[in-house]
Amino acid sequence: MTIERRKLRWNGWGLVDAPDVLGDRAEGVWTWMSRALGVSPLPSTPAKELSDITLPPVLLDSHTLRKIESVLRAGRVTTDDYERAFHARGKSYLDLLHLRAGRLDTAPDAVVYPTSAEEVLALVRLAEAERIALIPFGGGSTVVGGVTAEPGKGHVAAVTVDTTLMNQVLEIDKESLIACVQSGIYGPQLEEALQAEGVTLGHYPQSFEFSTLGGWIAPRSAGQQSNKYGKAEHWVVATNLATPQGMWSTENFPGSAAGPQLTDLVVGSEGVLGIIADAVIRLHPAPEAKDYRGYVFMDFAAGVAATRDMMQAAVPTAMIRLSDAAETRSFRALYAGGAEPDAADQFCLMVVGLEGDRATVDTALERSRAVIERHGGMELGEGPGETWYRSRFATPYLRDPMMDRGLAVETLETATRWSNIINLHEVTSRAIADAMEANPGAPGARGIVMAHISHSYTDGASLYFMCTFVRDTAREVEQWLAIKRAASDAIVANGGTISHHHGVGTDHMPWIGSEKGPISTAILKAVKDQVDPTGILNPGKLIA
Amino acid sequence: MTIERRKLRWNGWGLVDAPDVLGDRAEGVWTWMSRALGVSPLPSTPAKELSDITLPPVLLDSHTLRKIESVLRAGRVTTDDYERAFHARGKSYLDLLHLRAGRLDTAPDAVVYPTSAEEVLALVRLAEAERIALIPFGGGSTVVGGVTAEPGKGHVAAVTVDTTLMNQVLEIDKESLIACVQSGIYGPQLEEALQAEGVTLGHYPQSFEFSTLGGWIAPRSAGQQSNKYGKAEHWVVATNLATPQGMWSTENFPGSAAGPQLTDLVVGSEGVLGIIADAVIRLHPAPEAKDYRGYVFMDFAAGVAATRDMMQAAVPTAMIRLSDAAETRSFRALYAGGAEPDAADQFCLMVVGLEGDRATVDTALERSRAVIERHGGMELGEGPGETWYRSRFATPYLRDPMMDRGLAVETLETATRWSNIINLHEVTSRAIADAMEANPGAPGARGIVMAHISHSYTDGASLYFMCTFVRDTAREVEQWLAIKRAASDAIVANGGTISHHHGVGTDHMPWIGSEKGPISTAILKAVKDQVDPTGILNPGKLIA
């Protein structure tokens, strides 16, 4: 039970036959976007059809292909055009620019579908002997270039390892609330299997429907309810990876002081230290009750203070999602089908999600309300909570029709301590706005930048930025790069991490060195050289 | 404000002038111990006086000593006998056997007291140039040989770096609930500074009064209230270490997906990757309310089930301490001054500690009572809680008078998943009992083994074993090693980690390799070689 590749968009989000995400709001939304972004009418910029694209030649000879076939089950090696195109890149704005334009130079030479840890290990060994780069690929939903299929130095070809046939729940230990699961399982299949047993992982990133367990572990992913269920680094107990040195099984204990825990090195390793075959993960009882409701604050600072106080007072929330004023205005426009709020409006929407047993949810509701009220927040009831919950996986579907209309939407994220949140929000928003202004897609075009807090800790929170602008079709990669660079420079110069949950991939490579510093960088390189001396594992990502 | 070394016992626990921990219970307790351990009268086995011991010659010439002096403040380098003896070893039973017998072959050649990160860095650089091993030393309370002062291969001498003059709180960010603190600060001084600002780290290991922040980070220490405040790996945000490659500052964010977080490598690195100069740590509001109370269960399994259910239902406890039947019997004997319970008695004592704001403590009390009642637990009120709380740092003081009377007391600990807790408790208890029986200290002597759970997670818990036996003075190191080996072999063979919070040091070296496996072991070695190619940092510990 995986998702057949041809049912998925190779150059866009989700299912080929998904209905229009805007439904009957479409006309109002496009009118609003056109007005808000300062371009009318919206241009028509359709994507190139795959049938009109010539893929690069396959660099593997038939002899080598047969060797690869020999370590896998029959029919699990393909050089089919659709498969190569589907696996050429991830789902970032930059990826879509390339894919939609038909630039498929990063298409892998072959795609393979192993079904077991043993097969992956045999593949890794063969690849090392044959100098073939291997790119691990789950749902391929990376937005930082984490699956771009490029061989490294000295490699003869690049083969993408699609893990989605490794999708079995191997063991559920209900007494210990842990499970051992193969890495290629998609979110819905995993939760279905777990919830049938009364348990949950509770990890619901926006990509949930089209991303996999291994894809969550590799870049330290965060689910929308991470306040309760934790990021990947919090719920991974142990991992089993195929490496050129053999199967690497990391520590498997609830807590250990037997030296540094190498599991911590795997979570965030983005496929460069091994291909995750399976993992032991921490579960929770499936929540008996859920409560999602909205609140509104007079300004962002008041909402930030309330979020911080809930975290520091250990109010057991599952999610606190605080939109800044710009995002709040956009949501109102979007969900009202284009009715435009006053641009000076500083109201900020917060959605608080509570999950757990009835008693915990009731207590958390009472306590969160008290904190919010103390900071001048006003309750809006369950309506905004339900709206958010219903559409929580839908937003990515909006990007494809926007790109069809000459528009761009980019997201990036960071995290910092509470005492720096307001500052980082301001300087990064400003840097993005300035870069959009300096790189207009059309005369009179205006960009929109908005942000929210969606993952909080006692000591700080994430900041997630989204910007929308008119594409400069003559130089759209350069336009994106200018904006991305401005935002990333601002983040790193102002005490933010280059990523809170998207990872490094290829896109954050220019900033990772300064964030880690020379000693940490050298250590990571030493680890890489020890495990993968010929650099066949996901070259070009994370470790230079 | 540190603790003057001469006020501390160089060959025992705590303050030289501490009163007898047993007070007026002494006679009854010794009578009970004599009877329970099957040796009467208890022998007299006093420790050797330092004045009767000849220390090994100092291997540093005056020229090199002057070089060391040149990078530190005046008077911060010493080769004094007391200082060398004090820093020769930690506080394990094995350490005390050696120290009390006057075997001071591991006395460092010199002891130095840096006061800043810059001084530590200068020292590390000098040591590398001069091939001198450096042994970081905070409170020296390690019970696994973590500070034993032995040079490694190719080193000319061993110098212990006592960090306790690096004891300043550098910054408290109350808004973000974090602080930056020098590593050598003792527990009480740290908490005094934090609580003056209304905040707390909440890290209270049994060694609290005589251990330091850096000493908690290095071996992934756990405080008694770790259910609420976390182990070191949970509350360390960032570290600043002096290494042969320069100052190593690890990531400093509330959450990051910018690759593996190297901070995770530092927590648990036991001084072999650098000398921790300062760290950023997560704080909590100082608790408004505390509630410690006792419960009793019909047997260990019922108490385990209640502990597990409280964790898995996310009841916000600070501590759940569940004694097995043997420990419960010993406590009753100890606190009743020797009145002996029936040996067939299977009652198990649980102390539940709650801390936080009033509302959280009230809710937690109600919810914990409900879970405990469901498992047949009976409430004993606040009495046992108060008794435990009052004596929570006192137990280590009991070892010295026991050793004066020919008795041994050894502790060791592990952790495993819930579904394996009962099994691991049984096989390890049995292995220890069998080893004590096979290595009797006197004809007719009997050992006692007892255990408790004191740190719990949703997926499992720690198990802490204590054993008491009559020393076989003719072969006391061999006797200890036989028991230690039997316990450790049983733990590792039955799914436990070789340590949950004591660390690896020298004592767990025989088991760390099989626990980590060859790939993790090679990675740790590669990291070590990258950071410390000449192996001057704490040789002989953690990484072979």
The conformational region for residue A246 under phi > 0 = left, psi -120 to 50 = alpha, else beta, is left
Radius of gyration of chain A (CA): 23
* Cβ distance of B415 and A255 shorter than 8 Å: yes
Contacts of B283 in chain A (CB under 8 A): 458
**pLDDT at res. B344:** 80
Range list of β-strands (E), B39-144: 77-78, 110-112, 132-137
For residue A531, the chain B residues in CB contact (below 8 A) are 519, 523
In this complex, is the C-beta atom of B197 within 8 Å of any C-beta atom belonging to chain A? no
From A175, A248, A520, residue closest to B262, measured CB to CB:
A520
Residue A392 backbone dihedrals phi, psi, to 5 degrees? -70, -20
User: A448 to chain B nearest CA, in Å?
Assistant: 26
Count of CB pairs separated by less than 8 Å, A with B: 272
DSSP string, A451-480: EEE--B-SSEEEEEEEEEEE--GGGHHHHH
Q: Does B285 touch chain A (CB under 8 A)?
A: yes
Q: Is A135 left (phi over 0), alpha (psi -120 to 50) or beta?
A: beta
Contact B412, B484 (CB under 8 A): yes
Q: How would you label A26-41 residue by residue, b for 16+ Cβ within 10 Å and e otherwise?
A: eebbbbbbbebbbbee
> Which residue, B190, B182, B146, B179, is CA-closest to B165?
B182
CATH code assigned to A43-162: 3.30.43.10
| Dist CA B416 CA A238 (whole Å) | 13
Structure confidence at residue B345 (pLDDT): 87
Residues of A in Cβ contact (< 8 Å) with B284: 312, 458
- Nearest CA to A470 among A527, A516, A406, A532? A406
The 8-class DSSP code of residue B50 comes to G
- Which residues in chain A are contacts of B459 at CB distance < 8 A? 176-178, 237, 254, 282
Per-residue pLDDT at A315: 96
Check B264 against A264: CB less than 8 A apart: yes
- Are A499 and A144 within 8 A, CB to CB? yes
Which one is the CATH code of A169-253+262-285: 3.30.465.10, 2.30.42.10, 3.40.50.300, 3.40.1380.20?
3.30.465.10
* Residue in chain B nearest A256 by alpha carbon: B500
Residue of A nearest to B146 (CA): A259
| Nearest one of A201, A409, A393, A170 to A286, comparing CA atoms | A201
Of A176, A253, A462, the CB nearest to B497: A253
CATH T-level fold of B169-285? 3.30.465
Question: Which ranges of chain A have pLDDT less than 70?
Answer: 1, 336-339
Contacts of A177 in chain B (CB under 8 A): 312, 418, 458-459
Q: Is B103 left (phi over 0), alpha (psi -120 to 50) or beta?
A: beta
Q: With beta carbons less than 8 A apart as the criterion, state whether A428 and A487 touch.
A: yes
Find the residue in B nearest to A218 (Cα).
B259
Tell whether B176 lies on the interface with A, counting CB pairs under 8 A. yes
Cβ–Cβ under 8 Å, residues B120 and B114 = yes
For A:443-502, CB contacts with B below 8 A are 455, 457-462, 496-502
- The CATH code that applies to domain B289-493 is 3.40.462.40
* C-alpha pair distances (Å), B489 with each of B142, B485, B508: 21, 6, 11
Query: In chain A, which residue's Cα lies nearest the Cα of B281?
Result: A459
Residue ranges of domains in chain B: 169-285, 289-493
Contact A269, A281 (CB under 8 A): no
CA distances from B369 to A183, A496, B380 (A): 40, 43, 11
Peptide bond into B205 cis (omega under 30): no
Nearest to B363 among A250, A363, A522 (CB): A363
Strands B199-200 and B246-249 come out as unpaired
- pLDDT means per 10 residues in chain B (544 residues)? 92 96 92 94 97 97 97 95 98 98 98 98 98 98 97 97 98 98 98 98 98 98 98 98 98 98 98 98 98 98 98 97 96 75 88 96 97 98 95 94 98 98 98 98 96 98 98 97 98 98 98 98 98 98 94
* pLDDT score of A1: 61
For residue A10 the two structure tokens come to 């190779």
What is the token pair recorded at B405?
């009377």
Please give the Cα distance from B449 to B327 (Å, whole number). 8
Q: Pick the closest to residue A247 from A114, A67, A120 (CA basis).
A: A120
Element (H, E) at B233: helix B232-235
A520 touches B at CB < 8 Å: yes
For residue A259, give the nearest of B415, B524, B529 by CB distance: B524
Contact A306, A375 (CB under 8 A): yes
